[in-house]
Amino acid sequence: MKKLIISPDKFKGTLTSPEICDITEEQFKAQFPGLQVIKLPIADGGDGTAECFLCHDGAMKMPCKVSNPFFELIDSYYVTVGKTAVIETAMYAGLALAGDRKNPLTTTTYGVGQAALEAIKNGAEKIIFALGGSVTNDMGCGLLCAMGAKFYDKNKNAFIPTGKTLCDICNFDTTELQYNTRNVEFEVMCDIDNVLFGKDGAAYVFAPQKGADSQEVILLDRGLRHLSELFTKVTGRDISSVAGAGAAGGMGAGLFGFLNATLRSGIEVVLDAVDFDNLLKDCDMVITGEGKLDSQTMGGKVIYGIAKRCKKQNVRLVAICGDTFSCPEEIYDIGVTSVFSINTSPMPFEQAKDFSRRNLTATVKNIAKLLN
């Protein structure tokens, strides 16, 4: 073996993508001393996505002070690569920031918009929004308000809508928004393809994990439907059924509609950004992985995206994961050569996570020794 690409997603709650890359590199170089190793930490639009872009030459962290999901100021950053800024929703409106205060009725994406507007003021000509991991259901209204949009209630008072007040929107004005975003290109990384509302929409599918009960889900879904219908009435455009419209509590639809953003598979955006296809040339093997390999993987997650590209160039792909119990048989048809679980004995996640580093090291060591 002469050339190896290591390109995993994080093992959520246990190991980061860079940590997995380092462990894998160490074990393979122990068996193949002259091996060329390319480490590409990967994410598909969720938390950790901005960090992936830092592997670019010239990439920079740009500090900013923005609102968290509760309108509280926090110190954060965004990433720039040349004139492109990467805005990771999870960093400003993510589940991890909410803790035990999760409530999609009142949380906001306002901080996401603050970061984006700051990037534009600093010269960004393209904004990439990574939508995964949000704790919101405001259809991106908070973000849009921070960037200049105005939403009005029945008394013609401007307000910042959240999930529970989307139904109160009676009109909107995008004049300032359009001025602030003139000549800026917007691209959206979606790790799901759900529509905006209905049984397969943002509220019904994702709001429960953000803290909503069954009655609140109905309220949230009604709000998404209301604003979508109002948008269609005002503009003549239907944004409800676009694949990815339901991402991040409807932020996909909001960005597509109000900012004319392009919605793309998150993993495809990242792989294009790191020039993955060219890196695959003369590659003997790729190692990828994620915490859990199941049916959701087939919906456009990291392993799925990498597998398709490896298959095109006939490069072997090994997937190393924490949980492979529900691994779909189709995974081998799309380009995965083999799948390995790092867990060495049955135990709950809360116990298994303490052994993740040890178990990953042992698994990778065994794979490398087998190939030597």
What pLDDT is attached to residue 351? Answer: 87
- Mean pLDDT confidence for 154-166: 98
Is residue 6 pLDDT above 80, yes or no?
yes
Top-confidence residue, 346 or 370: 370
Nearest to 367 by CA among 318, 331, 323: 318
Assign domain 49-267 to its CATH superfamily.
Glycerate kinase, domain 2 (3.90.1510.10)
Top-confidence residue, 54 or 244: 244
Nearest to 243 by CA among 193, 168, 186: 193
Instruction: Give 178's contacts (C-beta < 8 A, 6+ positions apart).
Output: 148
Write the DSSP assignment of 5-41 as a string of letters. Answer: EE-PPPBTTTB-HHHHHHHHHHHHHHH-TT-EEEE--
Interval 199-240: pLDDT, tens: 999 999 999 999 999 999 999 999 999 999 999 999 999 999
Interval 16-64: pLDDT, tens: 898 999 999 999 999 999 999 999 988 877 778 888 888 777 899 999 9
**Rounded distance between C-alpha atoms, residue 134 and residue 103, angstroms:** 11
CB 319 within 8 A of CB 289: yes
User: Range(s) for CATH 3.90.1510.10 in the chain?
Assistant: 49-267
Is residue 265 pLDDT above 90, yes or no?
no
**Rounded distance between C-alpha atoms, residue 93 and residue 300, angstroms:** 22
> In the CATH hierarchy, which top-level class contains the domain 3-42+280-371?
alpha beta
- Mean pLDDT confidence for 1-30: 94
Interval 68-85: pLDDT, tens: 999 999 999 999 999 999
- Mean pLDDT confidence for 124-132: 95
Q: Is 234 exposed, middle or buried (0-12, 13-18, 19+ CB in 10 A)?
A: exposed
CB 199 within 8 A of CB 260: no
Interval 182-209: pLDDT, tens: 999 999 998 788 999 999 999 999 999 9
